[in-house]
């Protein structure tokens, strides 16, 4: 007997899909499953879309911080996101506490470890190179191999202070020397260092977050063209991640990038309590609505928040609706309605397409959203 039968759903291409879930795993996926005996059935009546559980690969949810903090469940299952990856809130000195605090959360929580041993205790964690310690970093990775899935370097002026590109050079050295390969996510923003310097050091498979910010040190030149070195880096295989955040998503920049066929590989929120409560992020659904408004199809967006982040961060049993995979599932509706969307620079657009999560299923456990 199955634990859960999801019937009469639609996939992101609006094709029929049904799932059987047993013991926290996906047992079967088909357009139609017959002769089912299950403890619980959710009949979607061909009205709702079923996808692998949404993965937000850039959040800040270490609750003990005073700067960027949140409850992982507020960013996670309550909004349709079944897995969050904290983007460097903690370093070697405090990641143990973060790990301990997340064990009773209903959302799957993973972490990128900050290359600074302090994490983001202040805005300038890379202003003192003595905070970068390979031995401490390696010890933390060894202690929490299933929790730490990447490393994070925030490379912008307020963070590195007078150290320029040196922290990123050190991050690449750390990445090479660690006895477990981990993806590197690089935060880009205000210069110095220059974006051109940063992308020169980054390699194929490294992740550039905040890719569509509206800053002068961004991807557009003064004539609204994609800078040559940006195009080169994209073609070389640097992964572009949205990382919306309070200050890092601009409609115009994202629009121009789409015209150049420079598409984000992953969509993340960079959410924490402030931009969740007061905007402009709010939740993953709002970020999806912004990409839909820019002309992306839902079938193009779903891999950005499921299979691609799962692949990038080595989450080998997540990101796909496939037999044997973790039973992490997001069920949502796309409805007509009117809503004002705001980017990180205060620019507004009106959408008539709304994304409404209905259920988060985490490890086979069903959580309804919005009072369903």
Q: Provide the annotated binding site for Zn(2+).
A: 58, 60, 152, 187, 210, 270
H/E run at residue 257: helix 251-259
Question: For the sheet containing 184-188, what is the strand order?
Answer: 54-59, 81-87, 108-114, 148-155, 184-188, 207-209, 239-241
CA angle 263, 282, 94 (to 5 degrees): 90
108, 105, 95, 84: which is closest to 269 by C-alpha?
84
Q: Which residues contact 204 (CB under 8 A, 6 or more apart)?
A: 236, 237, 238
Q: How many residues does the chain have?
A: 372
Q: Are 44 and 10 in contact (CB under 8 A)?
A: yes
Sign of the Cα torsion 29, 287, 354, 356 reads positive
User: For the residues of 189-242, what is the DSSP string, one character each?
Assistant: -SSSSPHHHHHHH--TT-EEESTT--STTSSB-TTSPBPHHHHHHHHHTPEEE-
Contact 349, 251 (CB under 8 A): yes
d(CA 255, CA 294): 6
Annotated binding site: 58, 60, 152, 187, 210, 270
Closest of 181, 233, 242, 178 to residue 204, by C-alpha: 233
Picking from 104, 133, 108, 106, the residue whose alpha carbon sits closest to that of residue 118 is 133
């Amino acid at each position: 007997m199955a634990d859960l039968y999801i019937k009469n759903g639609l996939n992101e291409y609006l094709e029929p899909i049904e799932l059987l879930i047993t013991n926290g795993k996906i047992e079967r996926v088909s357009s139609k499953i017959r002769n089912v005996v299950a403890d619980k059935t959710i009949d979607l009546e061909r009205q709702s879309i079923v996808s692998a559980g949404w993965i937000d690969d850039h959040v800040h949810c270490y609750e003990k911080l005073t700067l960027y903090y949140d409850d992982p469940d507020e960013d996670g299952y309550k909004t349709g996101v079944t897995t969050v990856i904290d983007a460097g809130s903690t370093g070697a000195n405090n990641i143990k506490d973060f790990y301990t605090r997340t064990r009773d959360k209903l959302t799957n929580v993973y972490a990128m470890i900050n290359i600074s041993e302090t994490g983001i205790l202040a805005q300038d964690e890379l202003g003192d190179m003595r905070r970068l310690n390979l031995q401490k970093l390696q010890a933390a990775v060894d202690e929490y191999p299933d929790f730490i899935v990447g490393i994070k370097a925030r490379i912008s002026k307020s963070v590195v202070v007078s150290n320029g590109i040196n922290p990123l050079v050190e991050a690449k050295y750390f990445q090479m020397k660690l006895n477990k390969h981990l993806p590197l996510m690089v935060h880009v923003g205000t210069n110095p260092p220059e974006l051109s310097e940063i992308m020169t050091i980054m390699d194929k498979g490294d992740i550039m977050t905040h890719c569509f910010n509206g800053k002068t040190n961004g991807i557009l030149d003064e004539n609204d063209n994609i800078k040559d070195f940006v195009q080169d880096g994209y073609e070389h295989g640097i992964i572009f991640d949205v990382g919306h955040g309070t200050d890092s998503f601009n409609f115009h920049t994202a629009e121009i990038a789409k015209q150049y066929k420079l598409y984000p590989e992953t969509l993340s929120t960079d959410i924490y309590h402030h931009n969740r409560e007061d905007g402009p992020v709010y939740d993953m659904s709002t970020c999806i609505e912004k990409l839909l408004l820019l002309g992306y199809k839902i079938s193009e967006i779903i891999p950005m928040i499921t299979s691609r982040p799962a692949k990038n961060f080595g989450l080998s049993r997540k990101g796909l609706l496939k037999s044997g995979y973790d039973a992490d599932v997001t069920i949502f509706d796309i409805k007509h309605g009117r809503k004002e969307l705001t980017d990180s620079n205060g620019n507004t657009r009106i959408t008539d397409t709304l994304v409404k999560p209905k259920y988060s299923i985490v490890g086979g456990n069903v959580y309804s959203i919005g009072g369903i």
